[in-house]
């Protein structure tokens, strides 16, 4: 076995500021690393790397383990995106986003008077898009997998069948969803329902035999173990019991798609990120282009000037997102225009150093008070230098809240990422129009931003995060924390975040993370500053000048870096 130079578990599981300040240096590894949202999943990925599996193998095994131990976002009933850069420089973007079912339609979430019914796109059977995750894993494996497929799936089966100990946050998550699980399921999901008056607690062992059986079918039959046969029949039976619309045809016809990644430059760095149906890569490119020529470094980290400039870049990129972005297979996304550096820099000509701009074109979006962060990201680098950045999601926490009866996994509520009515905000307050309207077989617009950076042609960073609409701004700021503000990976991940998404016209900032003088200065020039809870859970890897890897596992969650 390879010499393990650094395996450091992150000590605190609480998202607590003093802890974040104490852990400013991440796990350091000599050769290879996985950073993911749950320690058990990161360990599964590490074992695959130690066995000689490559970064794609490790990413698949880690995602499947997350589907067991991190059910709020890790999934086989959702979808995601994988951006990879192989050691030989080959780059790819794999789209396994959910699709609208064939029986879906533009006005399916409107009542007879044309009013939006957001509850239907957010919870219950009608909220689910056709899942893409397993097709994504199979496609990634067919192209790049090196270990036998069964060895990548087996660790997740073992976790589900033998059980795993709940972390504090997982125990809280299951307890807080108890009522929703009882309300929205046609068959009671007993494996996650604690006995009455005896809530789950840290350390309790949970098993999910139904999920173990589903995963065993995936191990034995690959993609067909999910999209055909027993699992597909169970999904459709669940739909019929709950008045959902996903059909056998939807499942059998689902395909993951290899897409051309978004590529661009920021100074002497190149970024590689996800194209539509994610808005992530385009919006990230726009924001980086918008600030590239501004003196961020001289202004200083979290100075009024740097925050103001970055907020104005965010505002403009999100305004374009609302109008221009959707599934490019259905809508003509003006990619070249949006990605032109000149365009983003021209948009900043209205930027006034001493005054906030106003976002007042269309009806304002509305933030839910408790925004869900339940997407999940993982970053992997293997000993050969292959790098993988994966963001995957059920959308809201525990998705639609609906388990597929007899199959043990949750279905997504990704339909809410469509614009269910022009200008009507989704659960993240994001608005959209025709570009992101529902159509049968169309993929809903995402903010997921799995990203890889190179510097002078060499791997530099692997980065991404959950966080709904805040994903893109969290990735943007983490990158600039390293490049402009000279932070290491963990420090850049720890740094407090802010977010502007055009509508509503507010800057949200992580409460307690910003000094009061800077906040007052920003208010004075017209920004509507609003304190918020945590934003994002960035999991990232930085290649240090000596070639070692520094993991940044976000202490806002229970995330962990493991490496050797
Ligand atoms: N469901 C969150 C996103 O895809 O942006």
DSSP states along 8-62: ---S--S--HHHHHH--S--EESS-EEEESSHHHHHHHHHHHHTT--HHHHHHHH
Work out the average pLDDT over 299-313. Answer: 97
The 3-state DSSP class for residue 324 equals: helix
User: What's the pTM value of the predicted model, to 2 decimals?
Assistant: 0.94
Q: Is 19 known to be catalytic? A: no
Confidence of residue 1 (pLDDT cuts 50, 70, 90): very low
> How does pLDDT run across 369-379, given as a tens digit for each residue?
344 567 999 99
Planar angle of CA 389, 510, 447, nearest 5 degrees: 35
> How does pLDDT run across 331-357, given as a tens digit for each residue?
999 999 999 999 999 889 888 999 998
Q: Report the candidate in 523, 518, 524, 526 with the shortest Cα–Cα distance to residue 496.
A: 518
Ligand 1 pocket, residue 417 CB under 6 Å:
yes
Q: Distance between CA atoms of 229 and 222, rounded to whole angstroms?
A: 12
Measured by CA distance, the residue closest to atom 1 of ligand 1 is 395
Residue with tokens 């975040």: 497
Ligand 1 pocket, residue 447 CB under 6 Å:
yes
Residues 6+ apart with CB under 8 A from 240: none
Q: Which is it for the CA torsion 365, 366, 367, 368, positive or negative? A: negative
pLDDT at 135 over 60: yes
Residues 6+ apart with CB under 8 A from 356: 308, 311, 312, 522, 525, 526, 527
CA of 354 to the centre of ligand 1 (A): 34
The number of the ligand 1 atom at minimal distance from the alpha carbon of 469 is 5
Work out the average pLDDT over 105-125. Answer: 95
Q: Report the candidate in 384, 379, 381 with the shortest Cα–Cα distance to residue 464.
A: 379
Query: Please, are residues 36 and 66 in contact by the beta-carbon 8 Å criterion?
Result: yes
Burial class (CB in 10 A: 0-12, 13-18, 19+), 156: buried
pLDDT at 252 over 70: yes
- In this structure, how many other beta carbons lie within 10 angstroms of the beta carbon of residue 370? 8
CA of 99 to the centre of ligand 1 (A): 13
Structural domains of the chain in order of their starting residue, each with its CATH number: 2-27+277-372+469-535 (1.10.246.130), 68-258+396-436 (no CATH)
């Amino acid at each position: 076995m390879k010499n393990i130079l650094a395996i450091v578990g992150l000590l605190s599981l609480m998202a607590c500021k003093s802890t974040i300040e104490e852990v400013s240096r991440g796990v350091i590894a000599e050769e290879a690393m996985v950073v993911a949202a749950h320690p058990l999943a990161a360990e599964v990925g590490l074992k695959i790397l130690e066995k000689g599996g490559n970064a794609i193998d490790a990413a698949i095994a880690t995602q499947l383990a997350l589907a067991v131990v991190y059910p709020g976002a890790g999934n086989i009933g959702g979808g995601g995106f994988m951006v990879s850069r192989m050691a030989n420089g080959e780059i790819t973007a794999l789209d396994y986003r959910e699709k609208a079912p064939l029986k879906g339609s533009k006005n399916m979430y409107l009542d007879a008077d044309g009013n939006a019914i957001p509850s239907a796109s957010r919870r219950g059977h009608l909220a689910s898009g056709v899942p893409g995750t397993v097709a994504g894993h199979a496609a990634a494996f067919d192209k790049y997998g090196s270990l036998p497929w069964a060895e990548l799936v087996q660790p997740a089966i073992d976790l589900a069948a033998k059980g795993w100990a709940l972390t504090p946050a997982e125990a809280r998550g299951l307890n807080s969803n108890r009522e929703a699980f009882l309300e929205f399921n046609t068959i009671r999901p007993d494996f996650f329902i604690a006995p009455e008056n005896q809530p789950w607690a840290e350390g309790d062992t949970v098993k999910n035999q139904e999920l173990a059986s589903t995963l065993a079918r995936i191990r034995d039959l690959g993609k067909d173990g999910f999209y055909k046969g027993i699992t597909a029949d169970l999904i459709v039976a669940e739909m019929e019991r709950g008045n959902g619309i996903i059909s056998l045809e939807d499942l059998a016809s689902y395909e993951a798609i290899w897409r051309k990644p978004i590529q661009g430059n920021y100074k002497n760095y190149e970024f590689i990120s996800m194209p539509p149906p994610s808005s992530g890569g385009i919006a990230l490119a726009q924001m980086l282009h918008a600030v590239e020529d501004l003196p961020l470094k001289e202004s200083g980290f979290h100075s009024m000037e740097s925050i103001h400039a970055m907020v104005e870049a965010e505002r403009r990129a999100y305004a374009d997102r609302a109008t221009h972005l959707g599934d490019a297979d259905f809508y003509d996304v003006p990619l070249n225009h949006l990605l032109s550096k000149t365009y983003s820099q021209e948009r900043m000509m209205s930027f006034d150093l001493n005054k906030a701009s106003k976002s007042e074109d269309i009806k304002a979006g509305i933030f839910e008070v408790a925004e869900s962060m339940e997407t999940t990201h993982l970053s992997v680098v293997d000993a050969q230098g292959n790098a993988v950045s994966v963001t995957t999601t059920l959308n809201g926490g525990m998705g639609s809240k609906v388990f597929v009866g007899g199959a043990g996994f949750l279905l997504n509520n990704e339909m809410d990422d469509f614009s269910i009515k022009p200008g009507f905000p989704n659960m993240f307050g994001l608005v959209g129009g025709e570009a992101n309207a529902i159509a049968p077989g169309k993929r809903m617009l995402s903010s997921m931003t799995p990203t890889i950076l190179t510097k002078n042609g060499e791997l530099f960073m692997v980065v991404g995060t959950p966080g709904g609409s805040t994903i893109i701004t969290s990735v943007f700021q983490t990158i600039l924390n390293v490049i402009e503000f000279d932070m290491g990976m963990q420090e850049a991940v720890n740094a407090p975040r802010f977010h502007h998404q055009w509508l509503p016209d507010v800057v949200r900032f992580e409460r307690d993370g910003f000094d009061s003088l800077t906040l007052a200065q920003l208010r004075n020039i017209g920004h509507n500053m609003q304190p918020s809870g945590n934003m994002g859970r960035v999991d990232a890897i930085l290649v240090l000048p000596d070639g070692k890897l520094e993991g940044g596992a976000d202490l806002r969650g229970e995330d962990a870096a493991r490496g050797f």
